[in-house]
Amino acid sequence: MLNAEPNLSQEAILLTAIFYYMAGASVASALLAVTRKNPVHSMLWVLALFLHVAGIFLLLGAEFLAAVQVIVYAGAILMFYLFVVMLFNLPEEEARPRFGNHWPFAAAVGLSFAALAWVARSGSGIAPAQTRLATESAPQGSLAAIGMVLFGPFALPFEIASLLLLAAIIGAVVLATRRTA
């Protein structure tokens, strides 16, 4: 980026605006997903949430993570959820109360965590003051760099993750098999 100064600041303003849109839309769609009565509507709001989070990943320079988010989360996991949700008796589900008895506790915990994040952001002693700043020149999150880390120091966890997925496949088949004998 060797643009002139005003051009650069315009770009920064645009990126900031996009970030605030993505963050606000993520929070709003998460709230809607939790509060909607119809489970299918809930799932569609979660889809919006996943896509906006993928946008934030893009803004953070994590292109591969954004692609994985769209393909795995929005593509595979969400479709799976939708199929299962459609097995349920939807009118009966809509008539139920949406929240359990403990939801004030959960809301309090969530709000206090948000307050903690806010305090840490304003830097009033809780956040570590001296953190290493990102080097802007390094091409972060590119597929090659991630691959070098993934197959270098993280090779063993990678293999363990594949084993975990295999165990999950077998477990899901065992659990969902209808016993016909």
Say if residues 54 and 74 touch (Cβ distance below 8 Å): yes
Binder among 25, 30, 32, 70 for other proteins (CB under 8 A)? 30
Which one among 15, 109, 126, 165 touches other proteins, defined by CB under 8 A? 165
Least separation in angstroms between CB 95 and other proteins: 11
Q: Is 143 exposed, middle or buried (0-12, 13-18, 19+ CB in 10 A)?
A: exposed
Closest by CA position to 61, among listed 129, 136, 149, 159: 136
Interaction of residue 62 with other proteins, rule CB under 8 A = yes
Binding mask 85-124 for other proteins (x = CB under 8 A): x-xxx--xx--x---x------------------------
Is 34 a residue that touches other proteins (CB under 8 A)? Answer: yes
On the CB side of 4, CA atoms within 13 Å amount to 2
Residue 69: Cβ-neighbour burial (10 angstroms; 0-12, 13-18, 19+): buried
57 within 8 A of 66, measured Cβ to Cβ: yes
User: Do the beta carbons of residue 36 and residue 80 sit within 8 Å?
Assistant: no
Q: Which residues bind to other proteins, rule: CB under 8 A? A: 30, 33-34, 39, 42-43, 46, 49-50, 53, 56-57, 60-62, 64-65, 68-69, 72-73, 76-77, 80-81, 84-85, 87-89, 92-93, 96, 100, 131-135, 138, 140-141, 145-146, 149-150, 153-154, 157-158, 161, 164-165, 167-169, 171-176, 178
